[in-house]
Chains A and B, each alone.
Chain A
Amino acid sequence: MQKNDLLEKDRDLFYSIEHTGPAFYWMVGLLMTILAFALFTYIIQIKFGLGITGLAQPISWGFYIVNFVFFIGISHAGTLISAILRLSKAEWRRPITRMAEVITAIVLAIGGLHPIIDQGQPERILHLVTSGRLQSPLLWDVTSITAYFAASTVYLYLPLIPDIAILRDRGTKPRWLYQFLSWGWQGTERQKKILERAINILMVMVIPIAVSVHTVISYIFAMTIQPGWHSTIFGPYFVAGAIFSGIAALLIVMIAFRKVYHLERYLKEIHFKYLSTLLLIMSLIWFYFTFSEYLTTFYGHEPDEMKVFFYKFTGDFSPYFWIMVICNFIIPVGILSNSKTRNITGIFIASVCVLIGMWLERLIIVVPSLANPRLEYPTGIYIPTLTEWALFAGGVAVFILGFLIFAKYFPLISIWEIEEGRETSISEVAHRLSSYLPDDVEQDEIKKILK
């Protein structure tokens, strides 16, 4: 009886699963159309070759690699943030972790496909298995991204099991799906213990894997001796940028789904305030890394490095470079450090700017170094074609579509963790707090305060 009451309280969380309006189908239809168009252009690319892109010599990497780095970067929103919040016992994490983990799983799948889209001979992808060379940073990537994908999908699935069981018990359709996926969950003490232990192990494991992913992606560039790429700071610089763009993506998703599915009771102002503080900190860290990176280059003033440097600061790429600085630093810091503008609208604007800025940062890292070869070659400019834009749009469409479909079948906010929060976390936090204090607080006193 009591359990049903609790579930009744959380009926908003079942709304997206049990009621599907026409807007949902329109949205899915629209996204499917975009996806179909992207697939169509990709088939043309397979048929005719990469010639239908805007790539050439020497700028032989473009949108596909940029989007690869960008999407994988966003994946750091998820699992990493969720794991860190769980690990640090941040109680406000409860309504956030699920969405964060979903972002990771979807975006990793999209990002992981990009190197294949970029390949001239995609059907030879298995050569990586049959004759892969571990000395190549590309293999490090394959290894690390696969591990991250495996760990983060399991990390998404495990805390989902009790929720799936709730849906099963409610008789939500399709029954076989929840029957199968709930894995026989009955909520016994033993099952809870095992689940908790599994989540704890995974959350510790997933952090180094996540850090390794964007580190080795930066190594693709840093391991070469090309000007603008060969930098020791690239590993942490990429990881910081990834977390930065990840938090921005998470905030956008939270704001959007809060509005669409009326989750205001769960995602409160305070959650956005806390997360946007993180965003502000990451923006400052991003600026610090960017400043260090370019000051070192400028001070050393090596001719080849300076060609790339000026290409970014005053040359062909200067509009993108300065928009990036505005989007990644000036706007977010301006909005988020002022308590008047730090409301949901302000946070939304800042997050969108950060996503644009971080995408530009990936573009600014990939293209200018290729556009300025050391020897004297005529170099054109890189103008992406419709194919590349279509596949970019397709990637974004898959992201939204993935989210919509997930929300159609599973709760976007962890129901059992919210319940657990209601039941146990207040007294747990009270005990924890009292243990920080210099004088011993009696158990009875805590109980008195709680009442």
Chain B
Amino acid sequence: MARWGMVIDLNKCTGCAECVTACKVENNVAVVGKDESEMGRTMLWMDILTHYEGEYPNTKVRYLPRPCLQCDNPPCTKVCPVRATYLDPEGIVAQIFPQCIGCRYCMAACPYTVKSFNWYEPHWPQEMAAALNPDVSARPAGVVEKCTFCVHRLQKAKEQADSENRELQDNEYIPACAEDCPTQAISFGDLDSPHSEVSELIRSPRIFTLLEELGTEPKVYYLSEIE
């Protein structure tokens, strides 16, 4: 069985936020508006963290695209009282929206703070609302959501492969962020398959994961910048 993972090359990332937009459109993530956003209620499954270094004029800005880290040892699924989030057999930390009671314990437990909560009924600008992705269920108010590695794409690709009576091929399943990245900084694939791009990339000496010391074993890896 596959173990899906992602490698983000920070040397290639320009911080353009194309992945953020692609994700938002693909997954029907609500647009909360300016006031709510200023309160800290922006909903982003893929976010870009900005880190400023040095003092003017010798400053440097670093960008770090941050999806759900899809931990192999997720602190969020452990604490869920109703199994609304769980680690699926292919390593994706999945969400079951109709099951979520909205206690927000998983949000409090996630050391990467990746989860968003639907503080209100989600809404979109008119143009977007007319073009919601039918493959991703819209969430009601009062549930927690986060990046799912575009798991609906995996389901579709599997169905396609099944109907053609064959195995799932490499590169058939790829999340929206990885697909849309203009500099191809995001690679995606099966970490256990010896020939996949990601399994080769994670052998690089530049590889690291976020907050490695916590032992959460994320399946989203980063390739450090070359100075």
Contact = CB atoms under 8 A, between A and B. Distances in A.
A49 B40 contact: no
Interface string A103-123: 000000000000100111110
B78 A119 contact: no
Interface residues of A, number: 44
B117 A57 contact: yes
Interface centre among B38, B101, B210, by most A CB within 10 Å? Answer: B101
Interface in B100-136: 100-105, 107-109, 111-113, 115-121
B119 A55 contact: yes
A370 interface: yes
B91 interface: no
Contact of A380 (B39, B104, B111, B112): B39
A329 to B, nearest CB: 28
Contacts, number: 141
Given A56-B39, A58-B113, A49 B82 contact: no
Given A57-B41, A60-B104, A374 B78 contact: no
Contact of B78 (A118, A122, A136, A370): A136
* Chain B interface extent, by class: 35 or more
B133 to A, nearest CB: 23
Interface stretch (A93-101, A190-198, A221-229, A443-451): A221-229
Nearest to B99: A127
Contacts of B137: none
Nearest to A381: B40
A26 B120 CA distance: 38
Contact of B107 (A60, A115, A136, A139): A60
A120 B40 contact: no
A56 B41 CA distance: 5
A89 interface: no
A302 to B, nearest CB: 10
Contact of B80 (A49, A133, A142): A133
Interface of B: 36, 38-42, 49-51, 66, 75, 78-84, 99-105, 107-109, 111-113, 115-121, 140-144, 210-211, 214
Interface of A: 48-51, 55-61, 115, 118-122, 124-125, 127-128, 131-133, 135-139, 142, 220, 223-226, 370, 373-380
